[in-house]
Amino acid sequence: MLRTVAFLASMLCAGQLLADGPKVGYVDAAKLAESSPQAAEALKKLEEEFGPRDDEIRELRARLRAAEAELDKNSPVMSQSAIGEAQIEITGMRRRVARLQQEYRDELNLRKNQELAKLQRLIIEEINKIAEAEGFDLIIEQAVYHSDEIDITDKVLEKLRQ
């Protein structure tokens, strides 16, 4: 009987310790980065910034394909010097397209990383505000398992929408 009482008392104490333990929250950072209005705004901004350059590259590729098709079609009736000049022109266009595409990719990746870093800072700020306001001791963003009770992703998303 004494052991039963001691066991029950220890279980009550353990339960109380667990109840008073650290308050933990979980946030799905990927969902926040994809679903936030700031992410959509950043994407739109990048499309507006890089759209004209993308159009320019597409137009240059179309001109290159047309020049290649023209050479293939007319090479039987062209002189060797005309064929050589056309090949030089096509080679120059290929190089220009390749250079422009590489510059475009590099600059786009740089700008994406800059916008992503801004978004991540904003998300972290909002997570910290919620954590402080609601008394969280720990917020994690990667877990093998988490219960819906500790998931604050929707709260953070709501704050980002404001």
**Residue 143 Cα distances to 25, 84, 109, angstroms:** 11, 62, 29
Asked, for residue 10, whether it belongs to a domain, the answer is no
Q: CATH number for the domain including 135?
A: 3.30.910.20
pLDDT for res 19:
57
Q: Is position 61 within any domain?
A: yes
Q: Write the DSSP symbol of residue 20.
A: T
User: Do the Cβ atoms of 4 and 116 come closer than 8 Å?
Assistant: no
114 belongs to a structural domain: yes
Full domain range(s) for residue 114: 22-161
Nearest-10 Cα torsion for 33, 36, 40, 42: -60
Quick check: is 71 in a domain?
yes
Domain count, the chain: 1
Predicted confidence (pLDDT) per residue in 42-100, tens digit: 999 999 999 999 999 999 999 999 999 999 999 999 999 999 999 999 999 999 999 99
Tell me the pLDDT tens digit for each residue of 102-128.
Answer: 999 999 999 999 999 999 999 999 999
